[in-house]
Chains A and B, each alone.
Chain A
Amino acid sequence: MKGARNRPGNDPGPRPEVLLALFAAALLLFNFPLLAVWNVPATVFGLPVLPVALFVIWAGLVAILAMVSERRREGGDGPA
C-alpha cells in the first residue's frame, strides 16, 4: 500500500535489525570482557583510558543512532 507510508502509524523508522545489532554491540562494549580491555593503567591525551574509552564509545553510539534514526527510509512497513 502506497498511501500507508504517510500515515503517522506507519512511519517505517530505523530498521529493527539495525537497532537490535546496535543494542547487542552496546551491551558487549560496555561490559566484561571488553570492559577489561579498556581498564588498563595507561593514559591517552593525559587522561586515563577507561573513562575516555567509555565516553568515546558512548558518543559513537549516539552518532550512529542519530544517523540511522534521522535517515529517511523509503517504503517498508513498521516493525511488527
Chain B
Amino acid sequence: MIPAPLVLAVSIGYLALLFTIAAAANRAAAHGRSMISNAWVYALSLAVYCTAWTYFGSVGRAAAGGIWFLPIYLGPMVAMLVAWIVVRKMVRIAHAHRITSIADFIASRYGKSPTLAALVTLITVIGIIPYIALQLKAVSAGYQILTASGGATPAAALPWWRDGTLIVTLALALFTILFGTRHLDSAERHEGMVAAIAFESVVKLVAFLAVGLFVTYGLFGGMADIWAKAQSVPEIAALFSPNTSRAFDYTQWFALTLLSMLSVLLLPRQFQMMVVECTDERHVRRAAWVFPAYLLAINVFVLPVAIGGLVLFGPGRMDAETFVLSLPLTQGAPALALFAYVGGLSAATGMLIVETIAVSTMVCNDLVMPAVLRRPGFAARAPGDLTGLLLNIRRLAIVGVLLLGYLYFQVAGEAYALVSIGLISFAAVAQFGPALLGGMYWRGATRAGAFGGLAGGFLVWAYTLMLPSVAKSGWIPDAFVRDGPLGIALLAPERLLGLSALDPLTHALFWSLLVNIGLYVGLSLRRAPSGAEASQALLFVDAFARHPGAGAPVFWRGAARLDDLMALAGRLLGPERARAVFEAHATETGIADIGDLTPDARLVERVERALAGAVGSASARVLVASVVDEEPVDMEDVLQILDEASQVRIYAHKLEAASAELKAANAQLKTLDQLKDDFVSSVTHELRTPLTSIRALSELMLDAPDMDEAQKAEFLRIIVAESERLGRLVNQVLDLAKIESGLADWHTADVDLAHLVEAAVKATGELFRARGAQVEAHLPQGLPTVRADADRLMQVLMNLLSNAAKFVPEGGGRVDVTLRREGDSLVVAVKDNGPGVPAGEGDTIFEKFRQGGDALSRPSGTGLGLPISRQIVDHFGGAMWLEQESGGGATFAFRLPLQPGGGRTP
C-alpha cells in the first residue's frame, strides 16, 4: 500500500500542475498567442472521450467478456471517418451563430426555441449524471485501492463528512469553478481548459501504456505468453473462447458501435471540445485520424492487462476494474501504481471538468436565464451589469451537477460496473442524434418534430434504462422490472411489448430511437415549418453554400433604438465588450462614430449574435425581442429576404466573375504582346540577313569596277536570289498576318484532295529530280470532297513537299505521299527518309521562324511555311502534326474534316 498523505499530495500536486498549464495558456491567449490553435492539441483535446471508464472500466469489461470493451472505441473510429463532412459542418454552423452548447445548437436550429433548449438541457443533466457518478466512483475506488492494504473492501460506513468521495466531489467542483468560470467569454472558449485537457490526454495515455508494458513484458513474456498461460487455466480459457456457452451477440455489438458513434459527437464534453473550442475548422482534417489513432493506442494493452490480471490473481478474486492499479501495486512497482493512479485521475478529472463546464453553460443559458428573464419587470428592475449574475449561476450549476452525480453514486453506484453506468448516459445523449444531425441536412424538420422526438425518446430511455438501474439498486421494488408495473408483462421496462430477444441496453436503444425518429419525422411532416424555423433551417442546412464573410441573410423585420441595444449589450457583455461589438459594426459599415449607427436589421442581428455567445441563442432572442419593436417574420418574408440576399450575392458573384475575366483577358493580352514583340524581332532578323548579303555584294562590286565578269555574274545571281527570298519573306509575313487577323480571302469550294495532291506532286517534281529523289503518291480513288480553298491547300501541300525535298538525302531520297480516310476526315501524310526532326523540336517546329536543324546545315527557307500551313489547315477545322519515325525520317500529316453531310462520293 501507499500512504494516504502521499497519494493526496500527489493528487493535489497534479491538479496544481494542471492549473498552472491552464493559467499559462490563458496568459498566452491574452497576449494573442494561442497555445491550442493546433491540430495536434485539438486532437488530444478530443481524447477527453477516454474517461475513467476507459481507464479502469475497459479492463474490467475485458476481464468479464473479452473484446466487448471494443465497440465503444470502434464507433468513434467509424464516426471520425466522416468528421470532415459532419463535424466541420457543425463547427461552421456553431461559429457562425455563436453557438456554445448542444442545447443551443438544437434550439437555434428549430427557430431559437427556449422550450427546446430547456428540454435538451434537462435531458443532458439527467442523462449525464450516471456518467459523472462513474468518474467519482473510479477516483474514490482508486484511492481506496492505493491506500488500503491488499485492495480489500473499503472501511465500514463513515459519517458523510468523512466520506472521501464527497470530499473529492467538492474539491473537483472548486477546481472546475476556478478553471471554467473565472470570466465570461463571449464565445464560451476556454483556452486554458483545452490546454490542460490536452496535457491530461498525454498523461493518461502514457500512464496506461506504462502499465500495459509493465504487465505484458515485465510480468509476462509478451502478449502471446499471456494468452498461452490463460489457456492453461480452464476457467479463463472458457471465458475467451469464441464458440462457448452463449452465442456472440451481434445485435448488441452493432448497438454499442452505433451508440458510441453518436456519443462521440453528441456528449456534452465532446461537443464542447470538438465544436465550441475548435479554433479552426481545418484542424478537423488531421484530428479525424489522430483521435482514432489515440484510441487505438490506449486500447492495445487492455486485453493483455485484463487477462494477465486474471492469470496472476485468479479469476474472480480481485475486482478487474482495478487491475491497472492493483497489478503494479502487488507486483512490486508501487511507483508505477501511483503514476497509474495519476493517469486515472487525469481521465476522470478531464471528463468532469469539461462535462460540468458544458452542462453548467447549458443550465445557466437554457434553464435558469429564461426563467429569470421571464420574471415580470425584470428588465426594469435589474439595472447594471449582469455578467456577475451569469457567472454565479454557472458556479452553482457546476456544484449542483457534481452533487447530483454524487447522489447517484450513493444510490446506484455500487450495484453497477463502470461500463454499464456509462452506457446509460450514452443512450441518453444518443437521443439528440435525430434532431441534431437531421436538422443539419433536412430543411423540412420542424420544432414540433424535434420536440416530440426528443421528449418521446427521452421518456422511453428513462423508462427502459434509467428506471431499471435505480430499481436494481433496491430503491424501487424489483418486481416492477421483472413483471412490469402492476404485473402487466407487456409494459415490463426491459421487455416492452414482450420484446425479449434483446439485451436491456439494445432494447432501450431500439425503442427510444424508434419513438424518437418516428415522432421527429412524423411531426415534421405533419406541418410545414414556420418562418422562424425555415429561416434557421436554411442557415444550418446551407452552411457551406455561403462564402465565409459574404454575410448570411438577416431574417429580421422591425424597428429598434440604438440606445436600447447598447444598454442591453452593456448589461450582458460588460461595457467594454459591448462597445467593441458596436465599434466592429461601425468599422465594417464605414461609420466613424458609433453614435451614428443606424439600428438596422444587421446591427440587431449582430447584437443578438454577441448575446447568444453569452447567454445562448434562445435567451438572446428573448432579450433582444424585449427591447425592440419587431414584426413577426412569416414564410413570405423569409422568401423575400432570401431573395434580396441572393440578389446581392448574385451581383457580388457577377462582379467577381467579371473581374476574373478582365484579369484573364489582361494576362492574355500581355502574352500576345510578348509574342508580337518576339515576332517583330524575328522578322527583322530574318529580313536583315538577305539585306546584309545584298548590300555587302553590291558594295563589293561598286568598290571593284574591274571585277571579272564571271565573278560579277555570280554576285548578281546571289543578289537576285536573296531579293527573291526577301520578297517571299515579306509576302509570307503579310500572308500570315492576314490569316491571323482573319482578313485573308478564302475561296471555299468542294475540293477533290486526290486531284490536288497529284497536281502538287507534279508541280514539285522538278525539285525532287534536282536532288535525285523519288516521289510516290498513294491516292485511293472515290474519296469524298472537302470544303476548302484549293489554292490555299495547294500552298500547304507545296510547302510540305518542298520541305521534304530539302531534307531528303542527296541522291537516295524517297518521299511517299498518302491520302486516306479516317472516320469523318481525310488525312494527307508526307513521309520522307531524311534525318527527321530532332527530339524535343517536334513542338517548336510549327512555331514561326523555327526551322529544323542547326543554323549552319539547314537549307534556305523563311521559317514561316509550316506556321502558315498549320493556320490554313486550322482554318478549315483540321489539324496538322508531326509523326516521328523511329528509323529516321519525318512524316508531316494533316487532317481535314469532311464537309457536313459529307461521305457521298462525287
Contacts and interface: CB of A to CB of B under 8 A. Distances in A.
B70 interface: yes
A12 B292 CA distance: 22
Contacts of B286: 69-70
A30 B81 contact: no
B770 interface: no
Contacts of B296: 55, 58-59, 62
A46 B81 contact: no
Contacts of A58: 74, 77, 292, 296
Given A23-B81, A40-B242, A47 B224 contact: yes
Contacts of A27: 78, 257
Nearest to B281: A8
B742 interface: no
Interface string A18-40: 01101100110011100110011
A45 B224 contact: yes
Contacts of A48: 227, 240, 242
Contact of A47 (B227, B242, B656): B227
Interface string B272-305: 0000000011100110110011001001100100
Contacts of A19: 81-82, 84-85
B547 interface: yes
Contacts of B228: 46
B661 to A, nearest CB: 12
Contact of A14 (B248, B285, B547): B285
Nearest to B78: A26
A31 B285 contact: no
A46 B78 CA distance: 28
B547 A9 contact: yes
Contacts of A70: 285-286
Contacts of A55: 296, 299-300
Contact of B85 (A40, A47, A79): A79
B746 interface: no
Contacts of A50: 66-67, 242
B224 A30 contact: no
B257 A30 contact: yes
A36 B600 CA distance: 63
Contacts of B67: 50-51, 54
Contacts of A41: 241-243
A26 B79 CA distance: 9
B88 to A, nearest CB: 8
A43 B250 contact: no
Nearest to B300: A55
Contacts of A14: 84, 285
B288 A69 contact: yes
Given A20-B82, A46-B227, A47-B224, A65 B288 contact: yes
B545 interface: yes
Contacts of A54: 67, 70, 74
Interface residues of B, number: 47
A71 to B, nearest CB: 10
Nearest to B67: A51
Nearest to B291: A62
B698 to A, nearest CB: 58
B74 A11 contact: no
A75 interface: no
A52 to B, nearest CB: 10
A-side interface mostly: helix
A32 B224 CA distance: 27
B660 interface: yes
A10 B288 CA distance: 18
A35 B281 CA distance: 35
Contacts of A36: 248, 250
Contacts of A43: 227
A62 B289 CA distance: 6
A56 B248 CA distance: 20
Interface string B654-675: 0010001000000000000000
B293 A62 contact: yes
A61 B248 CA distance: 24
B257 A69 contact: no
A17 to B, nearest CB: 10
Contact of B289 (A2, A11, A66): A66
A61 B77 contact: yes
B223 interface: yes
Given A23-B78, A54-B70, A65 B85 contact: no
A78 interface: yes
B288 A32 contact: no
A15 to B, nearest CB: 9
Contacts of B80: 65
B81 A65 contact: yes
B394 to A, nearest CB: 31
A39 B248 contact: yes
Nearest to A52: B223
User: When A and B form their complex, which 9 residue pairs have the shortest distance between CB atoms, in order from nearest?
Assistant: A46-B224, A9-B548, A32-B250, A66-B289, A65-B289, A23-B81, A26-B78, A22-B81, A62-B293
26 contacts: A1-B660, A2-B660, A4-B547, A8-B281, A8-B282, A13-B282, A22-B81, A26-B77, A27-B257, A31-B257, A32-B254, A36-B250, A39-B242, A39-B248, A43-B227, A47-B223, A51-B67, A55-B296, A58-B292, A59-B296, A62-B77, A62-B292, A65-B288, A69-B289, A79-B84, A80-B545
Given A32-B250, A47-B227, A70-B285, 17 more contacts: A8-B282, A16-B84, A20-B85, A32-B253, A35-B248, A40-B242, A41-B242, A46-B228, A47-B223, A48-B242, A58-B77, A62-B296, A65-B289, A65-B292, A69-B286, A70-B286, A79-B84
Interface of A: 1-2, 4, 7-9, 11, 13-14, 16, 19-20, 22-23, 26-27, 30-32, 35-36, 39-41, 43, 45-48, 50-51, 54-55, 58-59, 61-62, 65-66, 69-70, 78-80
Interface of B: 66-67, 70-71, 74, 77-78, 80-82, 84-85, 88, 92, 223-224, 227-228, 240-243, 248, 250, 253-254, 257, 280-282, 285-286, 288-289, 292-293, 296, 299-300, 303, 544-545, 547-549, 656, 660
